[in-house]
Structure 1
């Protein structure tokens, strides 16, 4: 299998401890569980490295697919429907969500009750909880040279049967004025988060310009989401690296109590104590 998201993390020396709860891996904008472009080529998996590492530890792993660019509400409804296939379940689930997938999960937890299964914790990785300055930039016709291409892009998406609401819902204003005020955390769910920051992308990288916009507006970022916007619940740390691989974590000081190993998602999912230590501190 070819890895999409898994290539961004390294998973050395993972302890063979079975995660306490079944794991749901929720993908981000334009994401998928598995993409097969041709019967002659291997499938591309969004969560390949992470899913395989968790499965090797004996975890039950679910990789649902939601509409790639639809509204948060529509994506959340699809996530809920995917969980219905596993109900009733004797155990609670942990949701690990990347980017926009974290917003889908938060919406589902807050608005789509009753939930088909019990959720013990939500772990978000580089999720724009407070929006993205690049989304603001993209939609600003006065400053963005890319804005002129949006109508054509929207038409292309609509002809393909895809939604376009995701773009406007990732702005900082939408998150601050609409989504966050109306989407409170659940008292019975633990919330954890990681941020991500990359070095300046290479000259020909499609993330070079977004990264520059984000850096000027919000500081350290992964090319689309800032570290500051990634904070939600108990913040576990910032993944650092470059556009090819996450090499190390923010804090490698042995005296620090906030050290995050290079395989943070797997270790947190496997930590039978960590899930219970989260705080709803947003």
Structure 2
């Protein structure tokens, strides 16, 4: 049995901390109410903070004997049009290299299999802006990450490990 995580915030995210500070404690209930009005669950946001992960979740969720843990991280060099410019800068200042939402250091758990270079958090779930890649390919740039191939490689690695 195994668990493989990809850019998971095992130790939280400095951007979540920054957002809660920026929004302000008195405004958080209003934000949650607005999100719930639009049918969005708000419970997970606070669970992404560094304090929650390190002081609550991780101590209550120990690794299980007999389970092999693998993890991957990612780094990003956000371009001027990237939605991750602000979040990347906030995380980089506190935690170092990151994919726009999760630092490499926070993503490491169990056997660390490596860091994907210049891959955003959205690239990892195959939500890459298709128009952006189409325009880049027209100008001769190659796509640097294929999420489907990456996940197939993980399945192959697990099979070779007998998992």
TM-score range, shorter chain: 0.7 to 0.9
The alpha-carbon deviation at position 203 of structure 1 amounts to 2.5
> Is the Cα contact below 8 Å between 2:72 and 2:107 reproduced in 1?
yes
The alpha-carbon deviation at position 167 of structure 1 amounts to 1.1
**TM-score, structure 2 length as denominator?**
0.74
1:158 aligns with 2:47: no
Aligned residue in 2 for 1:274: 161
**Secondary structure in 2 aligned to 1:198?**
coil
* Matched residue count: 139
Whole-Å separation in 2 of the counterparts to 1:131 and 1:204? 26
Distance 1:210 1:275, change over 3 A: farther
The alpha-carbon deviation at position 264 of structure 1 amounts to 4.1
Aligned residue in 2 for 1:90: none
Aligned residue in 1 for 2:95: 218
1:190 aligns with 2:68: yes
Unaligned runs of 5+ in 2: 121-127, 134-142
Higher strand share: 1
The alpha-carbon deviation at position 275 of structure 1 amounts to 5.0
Aligned residue in 2 for 1:133: 14
Aligned residue in 2 for 1:239: 116
The alpha-carbon deviation at position 186 of structure 1 amounts to 1.4
Distance 1:150 1:204, change over 3 A: farther
Distance 1:181 1:275, change over 3 A: farther
> Is the Cα contact below 8 Å between 1:268 and 1:274 reproduced in 2?
no
The alpha-carbon deviation at position 129 of structure 1 amounts to 0.2
Whole-Å separation in 1 of the counterparts to 2:42 and 2:86? 22
The alpha-carbon deviation at position 159 of structure 1 amounts to 1.5
- What does 1:35-50 correspond to in 2, within 5 Å? none
Whole-Å separation in 1 of the counterparts to 2:46 and 2:80? 28
Whole-Å separation in 1 of the counterparts to 2:7 and 2:119? 14
Greater than 2 Å deviation, 4+ residue runs: 146-153, 160-163, 202-206, 242-248, 262-265, 271-276
**TM-score, structure 1 length as denominator?**
0.45
